[in-house]
Structure 1
Amino acid sequence: MRRLFNRLLPKSWRSNDIVVPVIRLQGTIMAGGSQFRPSLSLASCAGIIEKAFAFDAPAVAVSINSPGGSPVQSRLIYKRIRDLAAEKNRQVLVFVEDVAASGGYMIALCGDEIIADPSSIVGSIGVVSASFGFPELMKKIGVERRVYTAGRNKAVLDPFKPEKKDDIERLKALQLEVHETFIDMVKDRRGARLKDEPDLFTGLFWSGRRGLELGLVDGLGDMRSTLKARFGPKTRLKLITAPRGLLSRFGLFGSRSAASEIAGAAAGGLIDAAEERALWARFGL
Structure 2
Amino acid sequence: MEFLTEYAGFLVRILTVIVLFALVLVLLTAGKSKKNSGLSINKLNDGYDKAKSLMENALLNKKALKAKAKARKNEQKKEKKSPATDKKKVFVLDFDGDIKASAVESMRREITAILAVATKDDEVVVRLESGGGMVHSYGLAASQLQRIKDAGVSLTICVDKVAASGGYMMACVADKIIAAPFAILGSIGVVAQIPNIHRLLDKNNIDVELHTAGKFKRTLTVIGENTDEGREKFKQDLEDTHVLFKDFVASQRAVLDIESVATGETWYGSQAVENKLIDEVKTSDTYIVDQYDNANVFKVEYSEPKSVAERLGLSVLSAVEVKATGWISRVLNSRGF
Q: Which residue does 2:135 correspond to in 1?
A: 71
Contact 2:189–2:242 (8 Å) recurs in 1: yes
Structure 1 vs Structure 2 CA RMSD: 2.9
Distance in 1, Cα, partners of 2:278 & 2:191: 23
Distance in 1, Cα, partners of 2:108 & 2:249: 23
Q: 1:27 aligns with which of 81, 84, 97?
A: 97
- Do residues 61 (structure 1) and 107 (structure 2) align? no
- Do residues 160 (structure 1) and 223 (structure 2) align? yes
Q: CA deviation at 1:41?
A: 6.2
Range with bigger deviation, 113-122 or 157-166:
157-166
Residues 227-273 of structure 1: CA deviation (Å, up to 9, x unaligned):
332462665341422341334761659xxxx9xxxxxxxxxxxxxxx
- For structure 2, list consecutive stretches of 5 or more residues without a partner in the other structure: 1-78, 318-337
Alignment of 1:125-274 (within 5 A): 125-192=188-255, 194=256, 196=257, 199-230=260-291, 232=293, 235-247=296-308, 250=311
Contact 1:25–1:63 (8 Å) recurs in 2: yes
Range with bigger deviation, 51-60 or 69-78:
51-60
Q: CA deviation at 1:48?
A: 1.9
Q: TM-score, length-normalised on structure 2?
A: 0.61
Q: Which residue does 1:102 correspond to in 2?
A: 165
Contact 1:29–1:41 (8 Å) recurs in 2: no
- Greater share of helix residues, 1 or 2? 2
Q: What percent identity do the matched residue pairs reach?
A: 26
Change (3 A) 1:248 1:226: farther
Matched position secondary structure for 1:213: coil
Distance in 2, Cα, partners of 1:153 & 1:246: 45
Q: 2:145 aligns with which of 78, 81, 86?
A: 81
Change (3 A) 1:246 1:18: farther
Distance in 1, Cα, partners of 2:184 & 2:82: 45
Matched position secondary structure for 2:235: helix
Matched position secondary structure for 2:155: strand
Contact 1:52–1:240 (8 Å) recurs in 2: no
Q: CA deviation at 1:14?
A: 5.4
Contact 2:92–2:297 (8 Å) recurs in 1: no
Contact 2:178–2:282 (8 Å) recurs in 1: yes
Contact 1:26–1:65 (8 Å) recurs in 2: yes
Which residue type is aligned with residue 225 of structure 1? T
Q: Which has the larger radius of gyration?
A: 2
Q: TM-score, length-normalised on structure 1?
A: 0.71
Matched position secondary structure for 2:263: coil
Residues 184-231 of structure 1: CA deviation (Å, up to 9, x unaligned):
122222212x2x586411111111111111000011112232133246
- For structure 1, list consecutive stretches of 5 or more residues without a partner in the other structure: 1-9, 31-38, 259-285
Contact 1:48–1:242 (8 Å) recurs in 2: no
Change (3 A) 1:11 1:235: closer
Q: Which residue does 1:272 correspond to in 2?
A: none
Matched position secondary structure for 2:253: helix
Change (3 A) 1:247 1:161: same
Change (3 A) 1:43 1:229: closer
Contact 1:19–1:236 (8 Å) recurs in 2: yes
The higher-RCO structure (CA 8 Å, 6+ apart) is 2
